[in-house]
Amino acid sequence: MTDLSSDLPAPSRRDFLKTGTLSAVALGAGGMTNRANGQPRTTVDRVEEPDAAKNVIFLVSDGMSAGTLTMADHFRRRHEGRASNWIRLYEEGRVRHGLMDMAAANSSVTGSAAAASSWASGRRVVNEAVNMSEDGTEYRTILEIARDAGKATGLVTTTRITHATPAGFGVNMPERWMEDEIAAQYRERGYDVLMGGGARHFDADRREDGRDLFGNFRDDGYTVAQSNRDLAQWDRTGKILGTFTESHLPYVLDHTHIQKHRTQVPRLPAMTEAALARLDKNDDGFFVQIEGGRVDHGAHANDTGGLIYDQVEFDDTIRRVLDFVDGRDDTLVIITTDHGNANPGVNATGDHYSASDPMFDRVADFQYTNDWILSDLDAESTTRQIRDRVETAWGFGISREEAGMLQDALRGTYRAAYKKKSEPDLLLGALQANYTAVNWLSGDHTSDYVELAALGPGSEAIGDFTRNTDLFDVMVRAANLESYADV
């Protein structure tokens, strides 16, 4: 991190006003005295900054290509008659936004562990590492920094809570897949709110070492929640470990149509509301990371229903956060993604450009994801079974020839020109494109620069183009955490 200290006097409110560039958010309550340890904020480049952010809310849609953001907006406009919450922020000019370079230390194509690490510690690490250099040096994370500054801390996700993005905000680990160890490290670090899937990494019967981490967390005073009802009954005080599924939460589309999921598993907006209600009780504010984690999985699998409905849910979560910050000027909200993935988009697929929109509208009638379709098919499946399963999920059938191609892929004999597209899931995504106009580049991450949007105190520092590691500095400065960070 760059040295933030200098001998310049702290600028006065009058100085801020004289510049004429003071953001409207700085004009509310709070004054200019809210500084950690009474230290003046003194660098020249901060002269135009408003008050410190008491709270930071970091929203991540994992693996969201620009086309995913666009399609969720199209979807809302065409079926709900309104823009997505994310795009409306742009329409209304309420956010600073630009592009962000998410490269890892060793690659322009980044994974979620290196991406989250770049934000959380201000360091680029090699892919798969979590806030740790190749020689084992641990980089202090933003969640620990916030915790040590007296802030409440939280991680909320639709993936396993031990997955790369949440772990990347608060853990040091040589390898992201060490999820039993990540679960144990969460306990050591004592964060206040942990919510998502991943019960298997806390359960004595499922952990490699047989440790009863659920019991350990209870011993530490945590509420351990494992169902929708547990979450509803939680009194929003104390600490909580919520693991609502063994692995990831179901895709939104499957959750909507499968009764047992609806009964058992809370969704991201509900988890977010509960987390914010608890975290906001802390006098010194909070830092929370909230992830729509399965957008990435939908992209990896070229699963249009999985992708779009989860992105729409993420967009609903943005709404909950905007409702939370409405009328207050003490919360920095960051909305972004960690990398592109598979770069989907609505293509001109029919006989003419205007055929694409009605094709895309078919997504609104989907009942289940492609993941659901493939979960019950294998090398023995007949083309009749394949066609029936697809029709149940999408509301329309595919041709016998297309079913035969998928049958070949299930048997491992299908060969696409681009090798990765020989797999059943990517082939199914390509067949789906014949009907929905949503087509895909590949089944994996891209090096594309990503969308970064922010509002609230500190967001003024977001420029048109941001290096991922600079976002760490933006947050540390905004929340006045310099004296707790390794500077």
Question: What residues make contact with Zn ion under the rule CB under 5 A?
Answer: 63, 296
31 backbone dihedrals φ, ψ, rounded to 5°: 65, -175
Report, in Å, the least distance between residue 65 CB and Zn ion: 11
Report, in Å, the least distance between residue 128 CB and Zn ion: 12
Cβ proximity to Zn ion: between 296 and 315 the closer is: 296
Report, in Å, the least distance between residue 303 CB and Zn ion: 13
Report, in Å, the least distance between residue 385 CB and Zn ion: 30
Report, in Å, the least distance between residue 338 CB and Zn ion: 9
Q: By CB neighbour count within 10 A (0-12 exposed, 13-18 middle, 19+ buried), where does 191 fall?
A: buried
Cβ proximity to Zn ion: between 149 and 307 the closer is: 307
Cβ proximity to Zn ion: between 278 and 300 the closer is: 300
Cβ proximity to Zn ion: between 250 and 298 the closer is: 298
Report, in Å, the least distance between residue 227 CB and Zn ion: 28
> Which of 192, 214, 188 has its CA nearest to residue 203?
214
Cβ proximity to Zn ion: between 295 and 453 the closer is: 295
Q: By CB neighbour count within 10 A (0-12 exposed, 13-18 middle, 19+ buried), where does 140 fall?
A: middle
Q: Are 79 and 133 in contact (CB under 8 A)?
A: no
The number of beta carbons lying within 10 Å of the beta carbon of residue 304 is: 30
DSSP codes, 287-349: EEEEEETTHHHHHHTT-HHHHHHHHHHHHHHHHHHHHHHTT--SEEEEEE-S-EES--EE---
Distance CA 457, CA 255 (A): 36
The neighbouring-strand residues paired with 372 are none
Phi-psi region of 22 (alpha: psi -120 to 50; beta: other; left: phi over 0): beta
Report, in Å, the least distance between residue 444 CB and Zn ion: 7
Cβ proximity to Zn ion: between 111 and 242 the closer is: 111
The neighbouring-strand residues paired with 56 are 287, 332
Closest-by-Cβ residue to Zn ion is 296
Cβ proximity to Zn ion: between 296 and 303 the closer is: 296
Q: How long is the chain?
A: 487
Burial 196-225 (b: 16+ CB within 10 A, else e): bbbbbbbbeeebeeebebbebbeeeebbbb
> Which of 116, 98, 115, 114 has its CA nearest to residue 452?
98
Distance CA 216, CA 116 (A): 27
Cβ proximity to Zn ion: between 278 and 294 the closer is: 294
Report, in Å, the least distance between residue 295 CB and Zn ion: 9
Q: Are 456 and 325 in contact (CB under 8 A)?
A: yes
Distance CA 16, CA 23 (A): 9
Report, in Å, the least distance between residue 57 CB and Zn ion: 23
Report, in Å, the least distance between residue 445 CB and Zn ion: 6
DSSP codes, 353-381: GGGHHHHHHGGGG--S-HHHHHTT--TT-
- Measure Cα distances from 264 to 50, 198, 230, 259 in Å: 43, 14, 9, 9
Report, in Å, the least distance between residue 387 CB and Zn ion: 30
The number of beta carbons lying within 10 Å of the beta carbon of residue 86 is: 24
14 backbone dihedrals φ, ψ, rounded to 5°: -60, -40
Cβ proximity to Zn ion: between 64 and 156 the closer is: 64
Q: Are 282 and 151 in contact (CB under 8 A)?
A: yes
Cβ proximity to Zn ion: between 63 and 196 the closer is: 63
Cβ proximity to Zn ion: between 338 and 402 the closer is: 338
Report, in Å, the least distance between residue 19 CB and Zn ion: 43
What the block records as the tokens of 283 is 């006098």
DSSP codes, 440-481: -S-SSEE---EEEEEESTTGGG--SEEEHHHHHHHHHHHTT-
Cβ proximity to Zn ion: between 166 and 456 the closer is: 166
